[in-house]
Amino acid sequence: MSDSASPRPIRIGILLSGKGRGSNMQALIDATRDGRIPGAVALVVSTSPGAPALDRAASSGVATQLVPAPDYPSPDALDAALAEAFERAEVDLICLAGYMRLLTPGFVRRFAGRMMNVHPGLLPSFGGKGYYGKRVHEAVLETGARFTGVTVHFVDDEYDHGPIILQRVVPVDDDDTPETLAQRVLVEEHRAYPEAVRLFAEGRLCIEGRRVRVLPTRS
């Protein structure tokens, strides 16, 4: 948690896995470079060899590091290596961008209040283990929900469970498919994630139990 105005631009670390394109990662990089976020992406880390997002980050001039999950004998060992990478880069905030592994309690304690994730649904609905990507949008349509959206939340040691920072609502159209719904939700992800990071960088997020209070702008 950040409880005072940041005395310097924040350093952001991004953690990803899988074979995603890294569009949320790119949205954060772009927001730091056009001034919407007072800071910079200092390091992008992937646990999956050959992740396209890692190449995308490198081509954007951002430092990258591969920490291959298969090289480590346990989740604790993997997370220790991840923590070392981010601490060496002196990051203030870690942003998950398509990271599919459950972080260990030790890692979560180490970066408590300094990790965020974006989820393509309105938590606590359509979240938890197995609810990611297309599966979220399929579930929304299967239930007949009239609204879905985006949630940015702090990360704890459960899937999609940490305190909610902000949410954005997306109406569900009668003719939506998982693909069309995903496209409109993704637009809001790219808006909401940088906004949440900006609030953190400005020292305006206060965690109170399960709730996050957004403090007013300081004059």
Confidence of residue 6 (pLDDT cuts 50, 70, 90): very low
Each residue's pLDDT tens digit, 64-120: 999 999 999 999 999 999 999 999 999 999 999 999 899 999 999 999 999 999 999
| Active centre residues (catalytic) | 119
Q: Which helix (H) or strand (E) holds 139?
A: helix 134-143
C-alpha 186: how far from chain center: 13
List the chain domain ranges. 10-204
Over residues 183-195, the pLDDT tens digits come to 999 999 999 999 9
pLDDT for res 219:
62
Query: In a 10 Å sphere around its CB, with 0-12 CB exposed, 13-18 middle and 19+ buried, how is residue 153 labelled?
Result: buried
Phi, psi angle pair for 189, to nearest 5°: -60, -45
Check whether 3 has a pLDDT greater than 60. Answer: no
Cβ–Cβ under 8 Å, residues 193 and 8: no
Cis amide linkage into residue 9, ω under 30° from 0: no
Relative to beta strand 93-96, strand 115-119 is parallel
Is the CATH code 3.40.50.170 the one for domain 10-204?
Answer: yes
